[in-house]
Amino acid sequence: MDPYLWQNNCFRDWQSKDKQCYFVAATPGSGKTNLALEMAMFLKEHGKISQIIIVVPTDYLKTQWAEKAHAVHLNVAPEMVLTGDFDGFAITYHAVNTTAGLLRQICNKKKTFAILDEPHHCGEEKKWGASVRQAFEYAGKIVGLTGTPFRTDNDAIPFVEYKELENGEFLCVPDFTYTYGDAIRDGILKTVCFPHVDGEAEWIYNGEERKSSLSDLTNDRQVVSQRKRVAFELDKVDYVSDWLKETLIFAANRLNGLREEIREDCAGIIFVTDQGVARKYETNRRVHKILGCVPKVVYSELGAESKRIIERFKCSRDPWIVSVKQISEGVDITRLTVGVYATVETTITGNYQLVLF
């Protein structure tokens, strides 16, 4: 596929600046992976690097990057390898935390192109951030790719430039920015619609009956937490809260319509808080009746099986999958068209990643 115009513009900007660390802030789904691989091919063909190291947040993304690299004739291993049979390898930020010293030695000995995918996962004052800086300080070229160029704790992201504002805070300064609005204008992404299902939650707190509408604005974290707990509640057998039932019916009808009108393999995803909740979706009979199926379920405790489930779902016609922080920005499942937000996640970064992955 021919590069998008923004990718060509970014590539030329990267070439002209010719700096060690280059940071791209581009909306999720716009093609950051293909851009970085184009950079890698250019550097390899011109003899400017002898290896590629791709750093990602999750194990699943290691495989996805390796597959996309293979498609453009770059032999990238989905695990850390040190033999000459590969152009490079993919590794998680968690693994960098335990191998930073070795990676530093490798980058010092070999001309390395380090691709940092979603580096906002690493704060410089945190272990992951410190390890990333230690590991890749000697890399010949570094490119950072993110759709969310900030951290909610305001910690600095490694290898990113910042400018100080008048109020004393610091703002990330990407080398190249491509926004969601730009992607809509260029026809790369579609507009996201947010239908809102309101409801009223009732619960007992310290012996007192409390009530709150889901749309009520409040800074009381206890109220926000309790009303979400009530709204998202279901059990292992057949109980589903009124809000969740109404929302799932709305989402299922929407998905069925899209499968009839647009493409037969359109799919939906339900974002939930933890594995305990996710497993209830596997057994709750009323949920199955509403969705018309037993949804696939993925969460980190499944280990490698989670990656296999995502890969099978990606290529199947199964209509629904439930995820606990396993499917978000960077995981390419193009047939996903409907999402149900039933998680207590409240950070700006988390919300943005889930909506625009």
- What DSSP string describes 280-297? HHHH-HHHHHHHTS--EE
- Mean residue pLDDT across the chain: 87
Percent of the chain with pLDDT over 90: 57
Identify which of 301, 290, 303 has the alpha carbon closest to the alpha carbon of residue 340: 290
* Mean pLDDT to the nearest integer, 257-284: 93
**pLDDT tens digit sequence for 178-205:** 999 999 999 998 888 888 787 777 877 7
- Please name the residues in contact with 79: beta carbons below 8 A apart, sequence gap of 6 or more: 62, 89, 90, 91
How many CB atoms neighbour CB 18 within 10 A?
Answer: 8
- Say whether pLDDT at 348 is over 60: no
Q: Which CATH class is domain 200-356?
A: alpha beta
DSSP H or E segment with residue 131? helix 127-136
Q: Quickly state the pLDDT bin for 218 (edges 50, 70, 90).
A: confident
Higher-pLDDT residue of 233, 192: 233
From the list 292, 330, 334, the residue with the least C-alpha distance to 313 is 334
Count, in order, helices (H) and strands (E) of the chain.
12, 15
Most confident of 68-77, 113-122, 330-339: 68-77
| DSSP element (H, E) containing 305 | helix 304-315
Q: What is the pLDDT of residue 221?
A: 79
- How long, in residues, is the chain? 357
The contacts of residue 291 (CB under 8 Å, 6+ apart) are 248, 252, 268, 319, 320
Higher pLDDT, 290 or 164: 290
pLDDT of res. 266? 94
Half-sphere exposure of 180 (CA within 13 A, CB side): 11
What is the three-class DSSP state of 114? Answer: strand
Torsion of CA 214, 344, 127, 307, to 10 degrees: -140
Structure tokens at 247: 């929302």
Domain ranges in the chain with CATH number 3.40.50.300: 5-185, 200-356
Asked if residue 71 lies in contact with residue 110, where contact means CB atoms within 8 angstroms, the answer is no
* Cα(151)–Cα(119) distance, integer angstroms: 10
* Most confident region among 6-15, 309-318, 339-348 by mean pLDDT: 6-15
With 0-12 / 13-18 / 19 or more C-beta atoms within 10 angstroms meaning exposed / middle / buried, residue 169 is exposed
Mean pLDDT of 155-181: 85
What is the dihedral sign for C-alpha 301, 302, 304, 308? negative
Over residues 75-93, the mean pLDDT reads 90
Please tell me the distance from the alpha carbon of residue 215 to that of residue 198, in angstroms, as a whole number.
6
CATH class of residue range 5-185:
alpha beta
Tell me the CA distances in angstroms from 132 to 24, 103, 124, 297, one per residue in order.
Answer: 17, 9, 8, 32
Task: Pick 55 or 160 by higher pLDDT.
Answer: 55
Residue 39 CA to chain centroid, in angstroms? 22
pTM, two decimal places: 0.77
SS3 annotation, 63-92: HHHHHHHHHCCCCEECCCCCCCCCCEEEEE
Cα–Cα nearest to 342, from 214, 150, 256: 214
